[in-house]
Every structure is written in C-alpha cells, then in structure tokens.
Amino acid sequence: MRPVIPSLIILIGLTFSLHLYGQEKEPGLAISYLTGDFYVYTTYRSLHGIPIPSNGMYLITDKGAVMFDTPWDTTQFQPLLDSIQFRHHTTVVLCIATHFHDDRTAGLDFLKQKGIKTYSSKQTFDLCKERDQKQAEYFFTKDTAFIIGNHHFLTYYPGEGHTKDNIVIWFDDEKVLYGGCLVKSTENNDLGNTADANISAWTTTIENVINRFPKPKYVIPGHFGWVNNDGLAHTLKLLHESEKKNNH
C-alpha cells in the first residue's frame, strides 16, 4: 500500500459541466446542484423498512471529477459514474472516503477496478482492514492539501466523534464544508448511529471544526438535508441534549 506524504499537494487534472438531476419517484440516485462546481449526490438504504438517505459529494474540476465518499446503495456505483459522464462529459479521477463505515467506503473496490484513485486517512485505512470494509488504495497520515486542476481543498481530522477516524473536507475559496457523518442534519432529532461513536469527545471535535472553519456558507452532513448551514450548531445541540439525558 502506498502512503501519501502528510503535507503532499496532489496535482491532478479534470473536466466538467453543470447539471441538476432530480430525485426519482422511488429512492435511487439523486444529484443536486450545490454551488459553483459542487454537487451533492444521495443514495438510499432501507433500515427497518424506511429508506435512509446518505449524502456524498462530487466536485467538477478542469481535470475530471473528484468524489467525496461512495454511494451507500451498491446498485448505484455505475449509475453515478454514468450520470457524471453523461451530464458533464468527464470521468471521475479520484475519491476520498471520510471514515470507515460502509456508507462512505462501499464503492472503493469498484472505483479501484475502474482505475480511479482512492484515498483515505491512515486511521480509516486501518479500521477498514480491521472491520473488513473496503479499503482505499492510498492513505494520508496527516491533514493533507490537495490540488486537483483548478480546485484545492484540505482534509482535516478534528478528533473523535461519530467514529474515531472521521475527517471533514474544507474548500476555502467557496467556504464549503463537507462534514460527512460527523455533522448531523438539522432534520435529525438525535445522533443516529452511535455504535462506534465517542460521545464524550464529539462536542470538542465539533468545536474544533467551528474554530478552524468559522464561517462556512454550506455544511453538508452525511445523511438527510442541508438546506441551511446550521449543521454544526445543531450537532452541538443534539450532543448537549444527549448529555443531559444521560445525566438524569
């Protein structure tokens, strides 16, 4: 396995056009325009008979498309690539997984088979191996700056929360924060899946994100809607409520 130098700035190129892809009548693949060259894609998995949406994101650059996390629904790996190719006349060249759960990593092997470079943190890489989840081909050991064509972004590990390895991705020019499952949607009334969570550390971790990236214009959670940028504050609220409940 090939590690990435911690401070590595990765230079790659990419091509893209814009599009809005409406959600199907039955949950499948939905692609929503966010801002600039950013799109949020959503796939679903049924839990207890209820379809749960899972968000990923992709970015258009002048050298190809960059994906952040993979579809949760394994039937949507190829449809997502096909949709990007059809709508934007480009291919995906790179994908970064933000933690080890399968709603972030399920498609990594599929992407590798397509010749797409896949990355995660070393923590995520090791946890994927330990938990028998799909692994990225490459890993980085510290917060890493990427330059992909005409775009640049930073991976940031703020501490444990939803999982011990969760990272966020920051796009400074556009003030977009891809929070993944560390950040809860304002549609959520609880913290969701906490099987691998560190509840006691999560509040400090969210505060680290807020202090590092104080004024995001867009905050994308791992599940459910992102109609406003209040996901960080809402996550803190849910954590405080959980703490109060556990103290009674």
Domain boundaries defined on the chain: 8-247
Question: Tens of pLDDT along 40-55?
Answer: 999 999 988 899 999 9
Confidence of residue 245 (pLDDT cuts 50, 70, 90): confident
Residue 173's pLDDT is 97
Average pLDDT on 160-184 reads 98
- Pick from 124, 207, 137: nearest CA to 165: 124
Residue 165 above 90 pLDDT?
yes
How large is the average pLDDT for residues 13-18?
34
pLDDT above 90: percentage of residues in the chain: 84
Mean pLDDT of the chain: 91
Catalytic residue numbers?
99, 101, 103, 162, 193
Predicted confidence (pLDDT) at residue 57 exceeds the cutoff of 70 = yes
8-247: in CATH 3.90.420.10: no
Closest CA to 69 of 119, 25, 28: 119
**Rounded to an integer, what distance in angstroms lies between the CA atom of residue 115 and that of residue 93?**
8
Residue 59 scores a pLDDT above 90: yes
Q: Which has the higher per-residue pLDDT, 49 or 22? A: 49
Q: Is the model's pTM score more than 0.75?
A: yes
pLDDT surpasses 80 at 18: no
What is the structure's pLDDT at 243?
A: 83
Cβ neighbours, 10 Å, residue 156: 17
Give me the phi and psi of 52, to 5 degrees please: -105, 125
On the question of pLDDT at 61 being above 50, the answer is yes
Question: Could you give the angle at the alpha carbon of 124 between the alpha carbons of 108 and 239, nearest 5°?
Answer: 115
Residue 10 has pLDDT above 60, yes or no: no
Does residue 46 come out as left (phi exceeding 0), alpha (psi in the -120 to 50 range) or beta?
beta
Cβ atoms of 43 and 28 closer than 8 Å = yes
Lowest mean pLDDT among 24-38, 117-131, 182-196: 24-38
- Under the banding of pLDDT at 50, 70 and 90, the label for residue 248 is low
Token readout for 172 is 């400074």
Which pLDDT does position 99 carry in this prediction? 98
SS3 state of residue 179: strand
Could you give the angle at the alpha carbon of 157 between the alpha carbons of 91 and 37, nearest 5°?
Answer: 30
Read off the pLDDT of each residue in 197-203 and give the average, rounded to a whole number.
Answer: 97
Give me the pLDDT at residue 27, please.
75
Comparing CA positions, the residue from 54, 67, 55 lying closest to residue 16 is: 67
What is the pLDDT at residue 247?
72
